[in-house]
Chains A and B, each alone.
Chain A
Amino acid sequence: MQRLAFTAIVGVMSAGMMFAPTTATAQRSAPPGGAYQKVSALVPLPDYLPGLGTLYVDPATLPAGPFLAYDHAGQLVSSIYMIPLKDMNAKKGFSNLKAAHANVDHVDIVYNAGHPGVAEPHYHLIVWYVSPARAAQLSK
């Protein structure tokens, strides 16, 4: 499981660091468009999740995502990948996960007990495009 987690994390970080200016503008402001839908319209969750922001996801990519997160001003702050523990324990791999086209600042890996949409214990792999100080402001 540890090897899988490491591989997934490295893959996510590498993908997140890619830069594609042709689509960058579209995803840096909410709504991201395309197949992305507001998560609160798909499952019973608040529009704004303290600590994360307002999330959008392409339902076809559930549960892994990415979930694109935006701050109160509608600016992209992170991409979140949600990996169920049972998939990690089963040594399941995740390849070619999409990434937002922005420069990565840092990555958080956070355990979550579950929530509507991913109702089982899982990890959030959060690829931040803003500093830890700005990320902390999302709790308000």
Chain B
Amino acid sequence: MSASSRRAFLKAGGLALAGLGLGSRREAFAAALSDVRSGSDLALELIAMRSDPLGAHVWFDPIGLFVRPGTTVRWTVRQNVHTATAYHPRNDHHPLRIPTGATPWDSKFLVNPGDHFEVTLTVPGVYDYYCAPHEAAGMVGRIVVGKPGGPGAQPFGYWKGDAGTENWREVPDAARAAFPSIARIMAQHRVHVERRRD
């Protein structure tokens, strides 16, 4: 899959921009785009999609983030192959863990370093998301937009027994353990995975 084939625009409570595949020029482009956004009073937050060289450890950096409504969040591949995918039944029957008024997103696979995906988050609440090939290994992230609330603020099994949720998937144990708490995100605004020894 080429980087250009992943170029896409979509709405997710706002504007999203995906997969420009800028290769070695990505940093310059990011800086330029950041300047443009700041000039128009739009906020941009960056999340790196990381891995160790062997693919044994994978993570979003930061794993927890607080933003104001209207902020654009950009995920960029640094190592390995990843996705940024919202917890939502439309995404392979995952449970709803973003605000009910928000549109789910799925970056699809971002294969090459520098490939990236953006979404603008306008509906307040908690947004939980995962990396499709690494969810079972605990590669997930959480964003609080404005103030905590919505399905993402509920316990993982809140939906059990509700009509229409029969085919929803459980959040894997490793993913449950990896999410930073909402309280920690509200206190620190950016939560990073602790530095790995390997």
Contacts and interface: CB of A to CB of B under 8 A. Distances in A.
Contacts, number: 52
Contacts of B53: 50-51, 139
B1 interface: yes
B112 A116 contact: no
Given A44-B109, A45-B81, A45-B111, A114 B56 contact: no
A115 B111 CA distance: 10
Given A44-B111, A45-B111, A121 B136 contact: yes
A39 to B, nearest CB: 12
Contacts of B80: 115
Contacts of A111: 54, 56
Nearest to B59: A113
Given A51-B53, A111-B56, A115-B55, A44 B81 contact: yes
A119 B133 contact: yes
Interface in B19-64: 51, 53-58
A120 B139 CA distance: 11
A139 B109 CA distance: 22
B111 A114 contact: no
B78 interface: no
Nearest to A120: B136
A112 interface: yes
B145 interface: no
A37 to B, nearest CB: 15
B81 A51 contact: no
A42 to B, nearest CB: 11
A46 interface: yes
B18 to A, nearest CB: 14
Most chain B CB atoms below 10 A, which of A44, A45, A51, A113:
A113
Interface in B94-150: 108-109, 111-112, 132-137, 139
Contacts of A121: 136-137, 174
Interface string A81-121: 00000000000000000000000000000111111100111
Interface of B: 1, 51, 53-58, 80-81, 108-109, 111-112, 132-137, 139, 174
16 contacts: A44-B1, A44-B109, A46-B81, A51-B53, A111-B54, A113-B56, A114-B55, A114-B58, A114-B137, A115-B81, A116-B81, A116-B133, A119-B132, A119-B133, A119-B135, A121-B174
